[in-house]
Amino acid sequence: MGTCENLQFVCPACTRSIEVTESVRDALVESGCVICGTDVDDGAFALEKTA
């Protein structure tokens, strides 16, 4: 099997960290952090590879 790529999101304001998919990343950029509501951009996400 190949690798699955997810993203690690870390809110720049409340510092909460969650693993997200591309579609959830898009929603976060559009709507902001689900915990505190702060606007986020691509800098809040890091690529995470899992086997």
Q: In the chain, what are the domain boundaries?
A: 4-50
What is the per-residue pLDDT for 1? 46
What is the per-residue pLDDT for 3? 53
Are the CB atoms for 13 and 36 separated by under 8 Å?
yes
Q: How does pLDDT run across 18-48, given as a tens digit for each residue?
A: 999 999 999 999 999 999 999 999 999 999 7
What is the per-residue pLDDT for 50? 60
What is the per-residue pLDDT for 18? 95
Are the CB atoms for 37 and 13 separated by under 8 Å?
no
